[in-house]
C-alpha cells in the first residue's frame, strides 16, 4: 500500500509539473480560497489583539454612567434633553449602592499642553483620587493626586507616557511645570505606556487633573460620566442595582423611561463581535466561492487528464493494476494539485501577513493554516472523485484501443 502511495505521489508530481500552466490556472481558485481564509484569520487575530489591549485599558468591571448609550444611535438632541450627570451623584451612589467599590466622575475636553517651546494638542481629564481604580494602567513614575489636592483645587497633573516622552525625553518630569491652556500645572506622576486604543487613538498623550481644578479653570458645565467599579463576579446584579440607584437619584416614577445610560465594555465586545462576524462571514463566503470554482476547475482538468491518459490506464490494467490502484492514482493527482495550491496560498498569506504586521500587529493563525491545507486536500478528494472513479472503471480493451 505505502509503496503504491509513494509511486502514485511520484506520478502525480510528474503529471502536475508536466502541465505547469494548466495546473496553475485550475488551482488558482484553491490558492485564492486558502489565501482569503488565512488572511481573514490574520486580520481577526490582529483585531483580537488590539481589542484585548484596548479592553484591558477600559476595564471589564466598570459601569459607565452617562447621558447616552454607546452604539445606540440616539439622536443628539435626545441626548441633550436628558439631565446632566452631576458631581454630587458620586456621593449619592456611594451612599446607596452596595456593590459600588469606587466611583469616579470624569470630565474630558481637548486642550493644548506646552512645556517651554514644546507644544501638544491633546485630551485632558478631570477626575477624583479614585480614578486609578477604574483604569488598568498603572503609574510609572511619581504618584497620583490625593483627595485633598482634589478638594483644594491644586494645580497638579498626571501625564501620559507620550507627553512625558515628547516634553521631557530622558529627563525626570516629576516636579516640572507644564502649561495646560496657558495655566501652569505641576507634574506629579506619569502613566505607563499604553499603546493605541483600537489601534487608532493614542491614550498615551493625555493629562489627568483633579476635577476641582478642571472645573474651576476649564468648564463647570462640561459633559461628565461616572466610572463605577463593581465586583467582576457581580456584574449583572451591580447593573440592576445601578439602574435602581440612578432612577432614585433622578426621582423617576415607575413607568417613566430612563433618562440616563449605563454602559459596559461588554457593549464594545458585542459591537466588536458583530464586526468579527461580518469579516469572518465575508472571508468564508469568498473562500467557499473560490473553493467551489476551484473544485469545478480541478474536476474538469481531471476529466481531461483521464481522457489524455486513457491508453496509459489500459496499459496499467494490462500489467496488473486493480481498479482501486487506478482510482488512487488519479485521486492522488487531484489531491496533489490541490495541496500544492493550498501551500502556495498559504505561502502568499504568510508573505502578506509579514507585510500587514508592519503596521497592524497580527499573526497568521497556525491551526487555521492547517485547516486550510486539510480543506484544500478535501477539495482535491471531492472534485477528483468522479474523474478517478471513471478512470478506474474504464474498460481495459477500449482504453488500449484509444488513440
Tell me which residues touch another protein (CB under 8 A).
1, 3-4, 6-7, 14, 18, 311-312, 314-325, 396-397, 400
| Smallest distance from another protein to CB 301, Å | 18
| Smallest distance from another protein to CB 375, Å | 30
Which residue, 86 or 311, is less far from another protein as judged by CB? 311
| Smallest distance from another protein to CB 41, Å | 39
Which residue, 152 or 322, is less far from another protein as judged by CB? 322
User: Is-contact 30 294, C-beta < 8 A?
Assistant: yes
| Smallest distance from another protein to CB 15, Å | 8
Any long-range contacts for 218-222 (C-beta under 8 Å, 24+ apart)?
A: 218/109, 218/111, 218/124, 218/126, 218/181, 219/107, 219/109, 221/84, 222/107, 222/108, 222/109
Which residue, 200 or 319, is less far from another protein as judged by CB? 319
Which residue, 215 or 309, is less far from another protein as judged by CB? 309
Closest CA to 353 of 39, 30, 48: 39
Which residue, 84 or 311, is less far from another protein as judged by CB? 311
Which residue, 278 or 318, is less far from another protein as judged by CB? 318
| Smallest distance from another protein to CB 319, Å | 5
CA–CA dist 44, 122 (Å, integer): 30
Which residue, 48 or 312, is less far from another protein as judged by CB? 312
Which residue, 249 or 327, is less far from another protein as judged by CB? 327
| Smallest distance from another protein to CB 316, Å | 7
Q: Take residue 347 and report the three cell numbers written for it.
A: 505561502
Q: Take residue 20 and report the three cell numbers written for it.
A: 505547469
Half-sphere exposure of 330 (CA within 13 A, CB side): 35
| Smallest distance from another protein to CB 335, Å | 19
| Smallest distance from another protein to CB 326, Å | 10
| Smallest distance from another protein to CB 322, Å | 4
CA–CA dist 104, 131 (Å, integer): 6
Which residue, 94 or 323, is less far from another protein as judged by CB? 323
| Smallest distance from another protein to CB 358, Å | 45
Q: Is residue 209 within a helix (H) or strand (E), and if so which, with residue range? A: strand 206-210
Which residue, 16 or 226, is less far from another protein as judged by CB? 16
In sequence order, what are the residues at sequence separation of 6 or more whose Cβ sits closer than 8 angstroms to the Cβ of residue 141? 164, 172, 173, 174, 189, 190
In sequence order, what are the residues at sequence separation of 6 or more whose Cβ sits closer than 8 angstroms to the Cβ of residue 388? 302, 306, 326, 327, 328, 329, 330, 331, 334
Residue 184, sorted as left (phi over 0), alpha (psi -120 to 50) or beta, turns out to be: beta
Which residue, 28 or 315, is less far from another protein as judged by CB? 315
DSSP single-letter state for residue 98: S
| Smallest distance from another protein to CB 315, Å | 5
Q: What are the CA-CA distances from residue 81 to residues 64, 74, 84, 180, 246 (Å)?
A: 19, 12, 9, 31, 17
Q: Take residue 291 and report the three cell numbers written for it.
A: 473553493
CA–CA dist 298, 313 (Å, integer): 19
Neighbour count for residue 152 (Cβ, 10 Å): 12
Q: Take residue 366 and report the three cell numbers written for it.
A: 497556525
> Residues 25, 26, 31, CA angle at the centre, nearest 5°?
80
Closest CA to 130 of 110, 155, 100: 100
Amino acid at each position: 500500500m505505502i509503496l503504491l502511495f509513494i509511486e502514485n505521489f511520484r506520478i502525480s508530481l510528474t503529471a502536475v509539473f508536466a502541465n505547469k500552466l494548466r495546473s496553475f490556472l485550475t488551482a488558482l481558485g484553491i490558492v485564492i480560497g486558502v489565501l482569503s481564509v488565512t488572511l481573514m484569520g490574520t486580520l481577526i487575530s490582529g483585531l483580537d489583539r488590539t481589542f484585548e489591549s484596548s479592553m484591558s485599558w477600559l476595564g471589564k468591571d466598570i459601569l459607565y454612567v452617562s447621558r447616552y448609550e454607546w452604539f445606540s444611535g440616539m439622536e443628539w438632541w435626545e441626548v441633550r434633553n436628558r439631565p446632566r450627570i452631576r458631581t454630587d451623584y458620586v456621593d449619592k451612589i456611594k451612599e446607596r449602592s452596595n456593590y459600588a467599590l469606587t466611583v469616579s466622575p470624569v470630565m474630558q475636553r481637548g486642550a493644548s499642553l506646552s512645556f517651554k517651546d514644546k507644544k501638544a494638542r491633546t485630551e485632558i481629564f478631570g477626575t477624583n483620587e479614585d480614578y486609578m481604580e477604574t483604569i488598568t494602567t498603572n503609574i510609572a513614575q511619581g504618584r497620583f493626586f490625593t483627595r485633598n489636592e482634589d478638594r483644594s483645587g491644586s494645580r497638579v497633573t498626571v501625564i501620559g507616557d507620550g507627553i512625558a516622552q515628547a516634553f521631557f525625553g530622558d529627563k525626570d518630569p516629576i516636579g516640572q511645570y507644564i502649561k495646560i491652556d496657558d495655566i501652569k500645572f505641576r507634574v506629579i506622576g506619569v502613566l505607563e505606556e499604553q499603546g493605541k486604543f483600537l489601534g487608532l487613538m493614542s491614550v498615551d498623550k493625555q493629562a489627568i487633573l483633579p476635577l476641582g481644578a478642571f472645573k474651576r479653570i476649564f468648564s463647570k458645565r462640561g459633559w461628565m460620566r461616572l466610572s463605577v467599579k463593581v465586583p467582576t463576579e457581580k456584574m449583572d446584579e451591580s447593573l440592576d442595582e445601578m439602574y435602581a440607584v440612578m432612577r432614585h437619584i433622578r426621582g423617576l416614577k415607575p413607568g417613566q423611561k430612563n433618562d440616563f445610560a449605563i454602559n459596559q465594555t461588554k457593549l464594545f465586545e458585542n459591537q466588536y463581535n458583530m464586526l468579527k462576524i461580518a469579516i469572518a462571514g465575508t472571508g468564508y463566503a469568498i473562500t467557499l466561492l473560490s473553493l467551489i470554482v476551484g473544485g469545478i476547475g480541478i474536476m474538469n482538468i481531471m476529466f481531461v487528464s483521464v481522457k489524455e491518459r486513457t491508453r496509459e490506464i489500459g496499459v496499467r490494467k494490462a500489467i496488473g493494476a486493480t481498479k482501486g490502484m487506478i482510482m488512487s492514482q488519479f485521486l492522488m493527482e487531484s489531491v496533489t494539485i490541490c495541496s500544492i495550491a493550498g501551500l502556495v496560498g498559504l505561502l502568499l498569506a504568510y508573505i502578506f501577513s509579514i507585510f500587514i504586521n508592519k503596521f497592524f500587529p497580527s499573526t497568521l493563525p497556525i491551526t487555521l493554516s492547517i485547516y486550510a491545507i486539510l480543506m484544500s486536500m478535501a477539495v482535491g478528494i471531492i472534485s477528483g472523485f468522479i474523474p478517478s472513479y471513471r478512470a478506474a472503471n474504464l474498460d481495459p480493451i477500449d482504453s488500449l484501443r484509444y488513440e
